[in-house]
Amino acid sequence: MDNYFYELRYNNDIHEWRAKMRRALLHTVWQWYGKPLRHNPVRILDIGCGTGVNIVSLGKIGSVWGTDVSSMAVTFCKKRGLRNVIQATAEKMPVRSDRFELISAIDVIEHIHDDDGALKELYRICASRGLLTVVVPAFRFLWSDRDERLQHERRYTTKELKLKIEQAGFTVLKCSYIDTFLFPPLLLLVRLGLLSGKRPTIRMDVAPRLAILDRCWLAAGHLERLLLRWFNFPLGVSVLCVGQKDGNP
């Protein structure tokens, strides 16, 4: 991604409602599935850590390391005071096997050309019974110029992502569409672009902030997380998948 994007994220990720929702989702997943791992010091890896806000948040759970393919991202992490951050690709991690009890890959896998290879590498470095939490954009028909600006390789369905994570070796504990409340407006924006005969254009590199809308979106995200514990959503603009590494790799 362009360097301007990392500066944009550095200045917005603490307060932006969508970034807050992602952090809350990570903690919610840990509450659901992390109990068997809590008796040990928890080692966490945030893949594609960007400017490091997730690392700060995950520090409430355990010891956190971060990696990003961008040297600019690593620079911003260090500017935030984070030291356990290295530049690396997800396909080839300079980490020993069976290392991390929790691995997060939030809005990352869609950027990687060899996503299957990256997921297999994450399986290698995941500890026995450890968790992998992946979030990716959903549905090819929601593709817009924003995907191209962010250098996405693809969008996924739940079926596609679940199969890839299983083929990497993980047992899937949860796979669902999320951000369901954003699906109607995003679909409308994309369809309007198609109907006008123009390429679908969405000019939002950070979620727009307006106090009352922030509260509404955050409330909708909170309700979605409560419901997500009990069932999977059939539509959404993103896919959440949680995998666990079995005891016998």
Q: Are 94 and 88 in contact (CB under 8 A)?
A: yes
Go through the chain and tell me how many residues it has. 249
> Which tokens sit at 186?
């995003």
> What is the DSSP pairing of strand 126-137 with strand 85-87?
unpaired
pLDDT at 202: 62
Whole-model pTM: value is 0.92
Residue whose entry in the numeric block shows the structure tokens 């991390």: 100
Domain boundaries, the chain: 3-244
pLDDT at 249: 42
Give the Cα separation of 136 and 128 in Å (integer): 24
CA 109 from chain center: how many Å?
Answer: 8
Model confidence over 176-232: pLDDT tens digits? 999 999 999 999 989 888 777 776 766 555 566 567 777 888 899 999 999 999 999
CATH of 3-244, one of 2.130.10.10, 3.40.50.150, 3.40.50.970, 3.90.950.20: 3.40.50.150
pLDDT at 247: 57
pLDDT at 214: 78
> What is the DSSP pairing of strand 43-47 with strand 100-106?
parallel
> Which portions of the chain are predicted below pLDDT 50?
248-249
Q: What contacts 112, CB < 8 A, 6 or more positions away?
A: 89, 90, 91, 118, 153
Give the Cα separation of 171 and 188 in Å (integer): 35
